[in-house]
Amino acid sequence: VAFATLDARYRTDATSLFSLVRNLGSSIGVSVVTVLLVRNTQINHAELSAFINPFNPNLWAVSPAAAGGAPTALSQVDRMVNLQAMMISYVNDFKILMMMTLAAIPFVLLLRKPKT
């Protein structure tokens, strides 16, 4: 599909150029998604941590030791907050990727039919 409109004499050059662009694009894409994941995890962790305080009665109900400030209980609560923040970040990143994919679908209509 990528080389359907090219003459046969240009296809070898086009293959190397296509591979270069594909590798660069995938590397940049992975880097951007990783940056978004880390950034969103930190933001979500900060937002979720705002609800963890000794005055929150829900914290006392789940773990009296955590609400009292026990170090092991607090580390377990932090671990759970990290897990939840990361899960929210993954969901948000996949939503972004879905939107990008849906936005790219109309470009398929711009492709020319191959010469026969």
Q: What is the pLDDT of residue 67?
A: 63
pLDDT band, very low/low/confident/very high, at 112 (cuts 50, 70, 90): confident
**Does the pLDDT of residue 4 top 90, yes or no?**
no
**Residue type at 22?**
R
* Two tokens, residue 83: 């897990």
Angle at 43 (CA atoms; ends 76, 97), nearest 5 degrees: 110
Q: What is the pLDDT of residue 44?
A: 97
Q: What is the pLDDT of residue 53?
A: 79
Within the chain, what is the greatest distance between any pair of CA atoms? 76
Q: What is the pLDDT of residue 11?
A: 86
Roughly how many angstroms between the first and final C-alpha of the chain, as a whole number? 13
| Gap between the Cα atoms of 39 and 86, Å rounded | 10
pLDDT per position as a tens digit, 55-111 = 778 777 777 776 666 778 788 888 999 999 999 999 999 999 999 999 999 998 888
Write the burial class of residue 44 (CB in 10 Å: 0-12 exposed, 13-18 middle, 19+ buried).
buried
Instruction: Of 2, 4, 37, 1, give the one whose Cα is nearest residue 21.
Output: 2
pLDDT per position as a tens digit, 13-24 = 888 999 999 999
Write the burial class of residue 27 (CB in 10 Å: 0-12 exposed, 13-18 middle, 19+ buried).
exposed
pLDDT per position as a tens digit, 23-45 = 999 999 999 999 999 999 999 99
Domain boundaries, the chain: 37-110
* Two tokens, residue 60: 């006392």
Q: Which residue has the higher pLDDT, 53 or 67?
A: 53
